[in-house]
Structure 1
Amino acid sequence: MTDAVVFDLDGVLIDSEPVWEQVRRAYVAEAGGRWLPDSQQRLMGMSTLEWARYLSADLGVGRPPEVVAADVIDRMARRYAQELPLLPGAVEAVHRVGERWPLGLASSSPARLIGTVLEATGLTNRFAVAMSTEEVPRGKPAPDVYLAVAGRLGVAPGTCVAVEDSSNGLRAAHAAGMRVVAIPHPAYPPQPDALALADLVLGGLDELTVEALSGTGRPA
């Protein structure tokens, strides 16, 4: 039984991870910090405050986290204004799934950027609930944002299907007790142990159909 479907945003509906990496890499370099080999993987899923602290302290930016967050989000907003990196089939997939189930959005993006994307794609009204990890105590891989979205939707987490791409996102949705559909990003593939948590692995959004979701995973 499925009562709702909860989408991630970055890496699932928009191809934003390369943009986030470019923007944050450049910001760290300009501030005299040092980008580490595993930085991008670690950053995927962090809440705004978490990644701002990470850039400030661990990567050597040395500016207050609130300044780091504001600077980076401003740069991301400008990039989105120039070109929104929408993934092929994203809008169609949301409409297709939304014709069958209520939809939620559980994203690590700041609320400002979530609003920008949903408005630009005309999907604002498709999502009954859209939440950022800014609104919960912990970012992914903690389950907080998924549990909060399920709560606002008025459904049990175990009757939700989550659509994710990243290691931390897969871990978060699984920890929330949701059935998990993975659509791995080829440039930022999830770690094998995280991918193993998925009940269904798809090759792209064109495969995200009502029929596929109806058959996902363990019973609720």
Structure 2
Amino acid sequence: MSQIKLQNQPDSDEQPEDEEFVHNIPMGQGTYTWADGSTYKGEVYNGIPHGTGTYKCTQNSLFYSGQWHQGKRHGKGTAYYNEEKNSWYKGDWVRNNREGCGLRCYPSGNTYSGEWKTNQRHGKGMMRWLNLGQMYVGAWQDGVQYSQSNRYTGEFAQGQRHGWGTFYYAGGAIYEGEWKNNKKHGQVCFTVSWKKFREIHSMLSY
């Protein structure tokens, strides 16, 4: 969504009771309705949303409530992307983009909580796959898991690694086995890269 501009009202004795004008430019608080039924209600400066307000678009079911800056979603806010309201984002915005820290819930029930950049998962974050019963906690880059850091995929309980899972170390080693209360437990399979194996062998040779 690009910058929202609020058109000046035609010459008339009628205007919304909560609307303010300065030199025929909407200012202060206002409620505005477009021809397609989309609406904005909130603070306005120089004819554009600026401050706190809510926007509902009839064309794509987008509903946003939060902070605005010069006609764009900017600051803290919550957006719903469908009528069922099971697809949403709550967190930081920068010029209409999800950027900073935020929580995203998808229609499938999967959730991501962490850092964002230009609408993509980027930085540190936690992804939970509801149907798979799995969770990944670690680094992300441009929307995908970033393998150059430690990461975990597997089962979890109450936010902790619990059950069967695989832990990938940044150095290339892989731990696969059971977890209990966030700790390794029971039978395991531990794999190391050939480079790491040589490093270990070298250390043991002294």
Q: TM-score range by the shorter chain?
A: under 0.3
Q: Which has the larger radius of gyration?
A: 2
Identify the structure with bigger relative contact order (alpha carbons < 8 Å, sequence gap 6+). Answer: 1
Structure with more of its chain in helix, by fraction: 1
TM-score of the pair, normalised by structure 2? 0.23
More strand by share: 2
